[in-house]
Amino acid sequence: MSSLAWPLLGLVFAAGAVATWIAGTSLAKSTNALDNRFNLGDALGGMILLSIAGTLPEIAITVSAVMQGHLGLAAGNLIGGIAVQTMVLIVCDITAGRKKALSYLVGSLIPVLEALLVILVVSFVLMGALLKPSVAIGPVSPASIAIVVAWLFGLIIINYVRKSPSWEAAAPGSHTGRPNRRVPHPQAATPHTGTSTWRVALYFLAACVVTLIAGVFLQISGSDLASRAHINGVIFGATVLAVATALPEISSGIGAIRLGDHGLAMSDIFGGNAFQVCLFLVADLIAGKAVLPTAGAQNSWLAILGIGLTAIYAVGIIFRPKRCYLWLGPDSLLVILAFALGIIGLISIPVTIPH
């Protein structure tokens, strides 16, 4: 695509973003339908499959970027994507209405546990970035393995707490909504109701293929655009590319809020963020070396920013601010300020690759 003119290259990127949005939304609906029919989320293997399906754009971009040697772009999209996707909760907060903040309506501590899991796995990302490239198990960084192991154990614990909570939390005035998407909504129809299972599976496969292809086009065209504009790959991957891949989350988040599933809206974001950094293991295997030690200072900054934004919303769920200001809860306003300062700080950090 390097031979394409600026306008055509931008059109390819925009088309990839639109395809990611449409296919990602269709993928979410078909995934929910299959989960309802086979109870995939009740088993660990099913939960892993659902997580993979939800991060197909990031998987496509990671694989494509690493195969082309654009490790900074891949790492920036994975790490910076956490901060950008957390910002989706601002859109959800606006959708929830101007009277009560989203964190007030959640009324459940499950999203807090999921936020803590995000903070835990991203902490391993930061530690992995400090390791020497020679510290590896074959081509894989020990930190990449630790991230996956921590995510798996966290998934098991959260699923156990969701099914058999050992405590009770009262949140007067909240509207949590369904605990998971397998519970039928009293007003909205289950996706693909009346459609045969094999046809839903075909929709699922078609959405997977389109999402993967769109992700590859996003990475290739995005890399060329960033190079021509002299934008650092880490910054481009953490901002423009991350926003493009977050479009399906925006759509599903708005849909969940409109159905009154405030807890699910937050859980979907935190759950996707926690799994996203597990893709560093895939990146290591494809690159044939540990990717995290090449992350650099900018990606470390993005990781800390992601932790900070996640922590703000976790505190908001516990603190439960009642009032909204400019259609947003105080925690969302603080997240906007922190994100803006974080991006300003990111631009000022010199591009350095450790070791």
Average pLDDT over residues 330-348: 94
CA distances from 156 to 42, 153, 351 (A): 10, 5, 38
Q: Which tens digit of pLDDT belongs to each residue from 16-34?
A: 999 999 998 898 889 988 8
Mean residue pLDDT of the chain comes to 90
- pLDDT of residue 350 exceeding 60: yes
Q: Which residue in 154, 147, 157, 149 sits closest to 122, CA to CA?
A: 147
Question: From the CB of residue 193, how many other CB atoms can be counted at a distance below 10 Å?
Answer: 9
In a domain, 8, yes or no: no
155 pLDDT higher than 50: yes
Query: With contact defined as beta carbons under 8 Å apart, do 90 and 331 qualify?
Result: no
Residue 181 has pLDDT above 90, yes or no: no
The secondary structure of residue 293, as a DSSP letter, is G
Residues 237, 231: Cα–Cα separation, whole Å: 10
pLDDT tens, residue by residue, 299-327: 999 999 999 999 999 999 999 998 899 89
Residues 43 and 288: their CA atoms lie apart, in Å, by 31
Print the domain residue range for 81: 72-181+233-348
Q: Which residues pair with 328 in a beta bridge?
A: 325
Cβ contact 170:29 at 8 Å: no
Q: Comparing C-alpha atoms, which of 277, 307, 234 is closest to residue 141?
A: 277
Question: Is the residue at 85 inside a domain?
Answer: yes
- Residue pLDDT, tens place only, 245-299: 898 999 999 999 999 999 999 999 999 999 999 999 999 999 999 999 988 889 9
Residue 117 belongs to a domain:
yes
Q: Is residue 65 within 8 Å of 224, Cβ to Cβ?
A: no
Q: Does residue 114 lie in a domain region?
A: yes
Note the pLDDT of residue 354: 44
Q: Give Cα separations from 308 to 123, 204, 323 (angstroms).
A: 11, 35, 22
Task: Give the 3-state secondary structure of 84-147.
Answer: HHHCHHHHHHHHHCCCCCHHHHHCCCHHHHHHHHHHHHHHHHHHHHHCCCCCCECCECHHHHHH
Q: Does 14 reside within a domain?
A: no
Is residue 28 in a domain? Answer: no
| Residue 83 to residue 238: CA distance in whole angstroms | 8
Domain contains 30: no
> Which residues have C-beta within 8 Å of that of residue 172, sequence separation ≥ 6?
none
How many separate domains does the chain show? 1
pLDDT tens column, 37-52 = 888 887 777 788 888 8
Q: Which of 249, 198, 192 is nearest to 32 (CA)?
A: 192
Contact between 273 and 86 (Cβ < 8 Å): yes
Decide if 77 is inside a domain.
Answer: yes
Of 300, 274, 283, 275, nearest in space to 131 by CA: 300
What's the rounded Cα separation, in Å, for the pair 241 and 14?
11
Write down the pLDDT at residue 38.
Answer: 85
CATH no. for residue 269?
1.20.1420
pLDDT of residue 1: 62
